[in-house]
């Protein structure tokens, strides 16, 4: 067989159904019979039958086995399998978040199989996975590497009507269905909160990820908030750290400590700091402790809180922006299912608000909903 054996078997049975050789209600051969007929293993035969069930051509009937489904019902099947592709699994930064996966699963429903895979931040592997999943899944939800080389592939899928939803990031030049946090608005709200507490010289610490729209949007919100109070020196208070330091916490802490030392000892020292994600905030808390900078008394800190709160040292001392991960996942699933049902149309973007938790050493933080500008 030229292609994967299970694919060839599934195609052969499907053609029998389409030619009318197998009518609705007819029982098809068992896995063992198919394995013997085609000279393959039972798992291969099982995979072929499972694929035809996913496509709505076959159904399982108790005490009877696998039979040909009613064609009208088969055609009404909306979605049997969805793939969730992430750029990497990284437990150290809590990605992908359990709530995000649960949101996708809940949004799809019990009848849809959810397949999860990762490409290890390798754009070439990402491209191979997408091409493979296009053939076996009814739709794809993806947290992309954002490598521009894969934009034509993703855009091509969407333009051909294949259901695909991008999560969290907007690769430049890509126009497909997307669900993301209101990064700009959330950051704007947090910086305004710091300004209301009297701060004007507010720093911005982030990994340098030029292809990640989430990082760019958070920086844009920071710059806009400073401009509102006539502070134009955002670049002087901004520090970008190599993304490679995500996997080297000790070196990250040292580089953050150097930046903190400079920014808190210059003539116009910063009095507050915004961190684009928790791994940076964690390094700031460690570095500040080493430098004898008390937080929040000596330096107020705000962060995009992607980790469970207690993974931060003294989480109550930092203002936290918390993304609604479950809602993001559920919205992505809803958008994908709607695309499968309704077919091609212009790309849609869904922005999910975040929640802001004010630091308070003596009380539990209070959540304030961040409204989205539509």
Q: What share of the chain is helix, strand, coil (3-state, %, to 5)?
A: 45, 20, 35
User: What is the model's pLDDT at position 76?
Assistant: 43
pLDDT: is 93 or 187 the higher one?
A: 187
Q: What is the pLDDT of residue 313?
A: 62
Evaluate whether 347 touches 171 at the Cβ level (below 8 Å): no
For 36, the 3-state DSSP assignment is helix
User: In CATH, what number is assigned to the domain containing residue 35?
Assistant: 1.10.10.10
Distance from C-alpha of 365 to C-alpha of 275, rounded to nearest angstrom: 18
Residue 198 belongs to domain with CATH number: 3.40.50.2300
Enter the DSSP assignment of 210. Answer: T
pLDDT band at 367 (very low <50, low <70, confident <90, very high): very low
311 band by pLDDT with thresholds 50, 70 and 90: low
- The number of beta carbons lying within 10 Å of the beta carbon of residue 251 is 14
**Pair (318, 329) in one structural domain:** no
Could you tell me if 270 and 237 are in contact, meaning their C-beta atoms sit under 8 angstroms apart? yes
Q: What percentage of the chain has pLDDT greater than the value 90?
A: 56
Q: Is 53 contained in some domain?
A: yes
User: Average pLDDT, stretch 223-231?
Assistant: 94
Provide the domain count of the chain.
3
Strand 355-357 vs strand 113-118: parallel, antiparallel, or unpaired?
unpaired
Per residue in 103-114, pLDDT (tens digit) is: 999 999 888 889
| The predicted structure's pLDDT at residue 77 | 42
Asked if 104 and 333 count as a contact pair (C-beta separation under 8 A), the reply is yes
Range of the domain at 43: 5-76
Helix axes 278-291, 249-265, angle to 10 degrees: 60
Lowest mean pLDDT among 51-55, 64-68, 86-90, 153-157: 51-55
The per-residue pLDDT for 365 is 38
- Choose one of 51, 76, 101: the last residue of a domain: 76
For residue 357, the cross-strand partners are 320, 367
Q: How far is CA 305 from the centre of its chain?
A: 15
Candidate ranges 194-198, 304-308, 355-359; pick with highest mean pLDDT: 194-198
In a domain, residue 374? The reply is no
For residues 341-357, give the mean pLDDT.
89
Q: Is the pLDDT of residue 371 over 50?
A: no
């Amino acid at each position: 067989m030229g292609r994967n054996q299970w694919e060839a078997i599934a195609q052969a049975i499907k053609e029998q159904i389409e030619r009318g050789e197998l009518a609705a209600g007819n029982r098809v051969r068992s896995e063992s019979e198919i394995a013997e007929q085609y000279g393959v293993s039972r798992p291969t035969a099982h995979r072929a039958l499972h694929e035809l069930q996913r496509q709505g051509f076959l159904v399982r009937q108790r005490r009877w086995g696998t039979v040909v489904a009613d064609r009208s019902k088969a055609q009404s099947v909306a979605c049997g399998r969805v793939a969730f592709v992430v750029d990497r699994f990284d437990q150290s930064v809590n990605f992908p978040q359990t709530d995000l996966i649960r949101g996708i699963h809940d949004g799809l429903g019990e009848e849809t199989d959810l397949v999860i895979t990762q490409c290890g931040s390798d754009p070439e592997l990402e491209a191979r996975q997408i091409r493979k999943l296009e053939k076996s899944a009814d739709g794809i939800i993806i947290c992309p590497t954002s490598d521009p080389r894969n934009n034509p592939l993703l855009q091509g899928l969407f333009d051909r009507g294949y259901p695909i939803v991008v999560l969290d990031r907007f690769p430049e030049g890509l126009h497909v269905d997307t669900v993301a946090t209101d990064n700009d608005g959330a950051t704007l709200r947090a910086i305004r909160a710091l300004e209301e507490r009297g701060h004007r010289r507010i720093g911005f610490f982030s990994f340098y990820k030029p292809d990640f729209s989430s990082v760019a949007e958070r920086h844009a919100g920071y710059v806009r908030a400073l401009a509102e109070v006539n502070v134009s020196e955002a670049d002087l208070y901004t520090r970008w750290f190599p993304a490679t330091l995500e996997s080297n916490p000790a070196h990250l802490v040292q580089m953050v400590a150097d930046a903190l030392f400079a920014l808190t000892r210059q003539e116009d020292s910063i009095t507050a700091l915004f961190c684009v994600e928790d791994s940076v905030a964690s390094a700031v808390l460690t570095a500040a402790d080493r430098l004898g900078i008390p937080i929040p008394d000596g330096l107020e800190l705000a962060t995009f809180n992607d980790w469970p709160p207690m993974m931060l040292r003294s989480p109550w001392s930092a203002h936290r922006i918390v993304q609604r991960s479950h809602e993001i996942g559920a919205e992505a699933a809803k958008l994908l299912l709607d695309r499968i049902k309704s077919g091609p149309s212009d790309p849609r973007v869904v922005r999910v608000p975040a929640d802001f938790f004010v630091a308070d050493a003596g009380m539990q933080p209070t959540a304030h909903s961040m409204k989205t500008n539509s």
